């Protein structure tokens, strides 16, 4: 069974049930997304798809808010005061220990914390793409472009007509302007990646669902490695 997904008027997929559960676990798909497969007359909530597994972290916000509200209301005022006081004492004690040099002695502490912070967030994703993309050649991303019918407009040798926007995958030199990041070292800012990212002014592909995030990540790794052919 192939399942189509709709979010904010945009359609994605189709996906197999295995892929659907994988993307839900990763957070790429949400419980609030709508689903459709052959045999249905209308779109249905994700949770109604037979065999779908919704992870606890992917529950609707309203449901999470209700659980949190119930848990908080069950704690008495005295317990709140006791917990707050305990945390205050603990924080003060840890701060004193750092001040006296009992914990985190030497110069390695602050530098390690800075390193941990630098290894998270969007910059870390771009850095990871750079480090892992050195061995990725065009043969790794070609199936992605072919599956999403990019070659119909951007491969003159296969389509038999001039490539649109001067992006021609059959002429490697023509791709440089599209695979060169606007921000050095950050493949997410390459014009090609921006065009296949949701929210693009002129999204690619123009007549189909957007390219899944996992495949976009592979394209970013190829670009980070120099967009080699």
Task: Give the pLDDT band (50/70/90) at residue 202.
Answer: confident
Quick one: pLDDT at residue 95? Answer: 52
Output the six-digit token pair for 31.
Answer: 């419980």
Quick one: pLDDT at residue 93? Answer: 53
What is the secondary structure of 27-82 as a DSSP string?
TSS-TTSEEEETT-SS-EEGGGSTT----GGGS-HHHHHHHHHHHHHTS-HHHHHH
Output the six-digit token pair for 222.
Answer: 């190829």
Quick one: pLDDT at residue 121? Answer: 39
End-to-end CA distance of the chain: 35
**What is the rounded average pLDDT of the residues 106-119?**
39
Of 14-23, 52-61, 159-168, 217-226, which range is least confident?
52-61
What are the pLDDT digits (tens) for 26-37? 888 888 899 999
3-58 CATH pick, 3.90.550, 2.60.40, 3.30.1490, 3.40.630: 3.30.1490
Quick one: pLDDT at residue 174? Answer: 92
**Does 188 or 126 have the greater pLDDT score?**
188
Q: Is the link from the previous residue into 93 a cis peptide, with omega within 30 of 0? A: no
Closest CA to 49 of 19, 91, 81, 86: 19
**Does 198 or 46 have the greater pLDDT score?**
46
**What is the rounded average pLDDT of the residues 140-161?**
90
Task: Give the pLDDT band (50/70/90) at residue 168.
Answer: very high
Task: Give the pLDDT band (50/70/90) at residue 159.
Answer: confident
Whole-angstrom CA distances from 205 to 3, 27, 99 are: 20, 23, 57
Domain ranges of the chain: 3-58, 60-89, 124-224
Quick one: pLDDT at residue 112? Answer: 41
Quick one: pLDDT at residue 84? Answer: 54
Where does 115-191 show beta strands of DSSP type E?
none
Closest CA to 144 of 198, 206, 196: 196
Output the six-digit token pair for 107.
Answer: 């110069």
Quick one: pLDDT at residue 147? Answer: 87
Closest CA to 37 of 9, 58, 11, 55: 11
Quick one: pLDDT at residue 162? Answer: 92
């Amino acid at each position: 069974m192939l399942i189509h997904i709709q979010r904010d008027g945009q359609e994605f997929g189709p996906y197999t049930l295995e892929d659907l559960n994988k993307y839900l676990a990763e957070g790429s798909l949400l419980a609030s997304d709508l689903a459709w497969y052959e045999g249905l007359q209308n779109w249905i909530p994700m949770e109604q798809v037979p065999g779908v597994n919704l992870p606890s972290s992917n529950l609707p916000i309203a449901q999470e808010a209700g659980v949190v509200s119930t848990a908080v209301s069950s704690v008495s005022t005295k317990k709140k005061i006791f917990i707050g006081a305990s945390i205050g004492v603990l924080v003060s004690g840890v701060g004193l220990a750092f001040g006296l040099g009992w914990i985190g002695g030497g110069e390695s502490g602050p530098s390690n914390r800075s390193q941990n912070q630098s290894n998270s967030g969007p910059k870390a994703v771009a850095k990871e793409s750079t480090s892992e993309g050195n061995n990725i050649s065009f043969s790794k991303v070609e199936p992605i472009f072919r599956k999403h019918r990019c070659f119909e407009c951007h491969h003159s040798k296969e389509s038999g007509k001039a490539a649109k926007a001067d992006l021609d995958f059959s002429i490697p030199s023509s791709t440089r302007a599209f695979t060169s990041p606007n921000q050095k070292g950050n493949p997410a800012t390459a014009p090609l990646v921006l065009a296949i990212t949701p929210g693009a002014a002129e999204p690619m592909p123009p007549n189909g669902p957007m390219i899944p995030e996992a495949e976009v990540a592979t394209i970013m790794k190829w670009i980070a490695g120099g967009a080699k052919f």
